[in-house]
């Protein structure tokens, strides 16, 4: 419910047929989607602050990020609660594997 309230209020994400998409949720997993690293940081910060207001915290050891783009950012970095998150090149969501080859 926190994610629904938070993410529906933000006009950050990718646009598909005129609709802004900024997350995919399945079971207890959430994938945040943004057009830039800056937008992804905005989403991460908003989720963290709203979760904190309800007494919840994000487990930064389990939270990862990946970039999928034609030209990857030079030095991508994403922080949550002031801690850098690990960048990965593969992600498994509901038995669907997504991966990125940075070469």
H or E segment to which residue 103 belongs: none
Closest CA to 39 of 71, 70, 5, 76: 76
Positions of E strands within the chain: 14-16, 19-21, 23-26, 29-32, 64-65, 79-80, 83-84, 86-87, 90-93, 96-99
Do residues 84 and 77 lie in contact, with contact meaning Cβ atoms separated by under 8 Å? yes
Whether this prediction's pTM lies above 0.85 is answered by no
Q: What are phi and psi of 43, to 5 degrees?
A: -60, -45
pLDDT in tens, 60-75: 998 888 887 777 777 7
Q: Digits of tens for pLDDT over the chain (103 positions)?
A: 667 778 888 889 989 999 998 988 877 788 888 988 899 999 999 999 998 999 998 899 988 888 877 777 777 789 999 999 998 887 766 555 555 555 4
């Amino acid at each position: 419910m926190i994610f629904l309230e938070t993410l529906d209020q933000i006009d950050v994400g990718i646009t598909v047929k005129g609709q802004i998409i900024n997350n995919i949720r399945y079971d207890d997993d959430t994938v945040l989607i943004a057009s830039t690293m800056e937008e992804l940081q905005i989403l991460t910060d908003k989720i963290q602050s709203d979760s904190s207001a309800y007494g919840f915290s994000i487990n930064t050891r389990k939270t990862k990020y990946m970039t999928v783009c034609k030209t990857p950012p030079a030095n991508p970095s994403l922080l949550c609660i002031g801690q850098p998150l690990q960048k990965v090149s593969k992600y498994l969501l509901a038995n669907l594997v997504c991966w990125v080859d940075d070469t």
